[in-house]
Amino acid sequence: MLRFEVSVDDLMRSRFALSPAMDLCFLLRSLAGRDQPLPRTWADRLRPTFERLRRETELNAFLALQTPRSGPDFVAPPPRGLHQTWADDLVTIRAAPLEAARREISTAATGPS
């Protein structure tokens, strides 16, 4: 039998709560074919908008940093509670230290993917 000991900080950084930014990352990776596939009806409904965003925005830069199951942590911070909102996520994302964000981008850009 394995036994894991965790601290309160470990649990707070775990993703038991919902995070709008994390959910968006999962959705975008799925639509790009880099994560679990979406149900066909969802994918069929979302794909035209996803493809338009790829053409008209910098979405491809975000997708270039994604592996099949992860990406830079600063774009999907761990939720701080059960009532995490987009506003909460955006405050945390914008507060990410620039050097830490650059390091995560560099790691993702030069990794094995």
Predicted confidence band at 101 (pLDDT cuts at 50, 70, 90)? Answer: very high
User: From the CA atom positions of the chain, what is the Rg in Å?
Assistant: 16
Predicted model pTM: 0.75
Chain-centre distance for alpha carbon 27: 9
pLDDT at 13: 61
Q: What's the mean pLDDT in 20-32?
A: 91
> What confidence score (pLDDT) does residue 12 get?
63
Convert the pLDDT of each residue in 39-89 to its tens digit: 999 999 999 999 999 999 999 999 998 877 678 889 988 777 778 889 999
Token couple for 47: 């794909």
State in Å, rounded, how far the first CA of the chain is from the last one. 34
pLDDT at residue 81, rounded to an integer: 77
Distant-in-sequence, close-in-space partners of 101: CB < 8 Å, separation ≥ 6: 72, 74
pLDDT at residue 33 is higher than 80:
yes
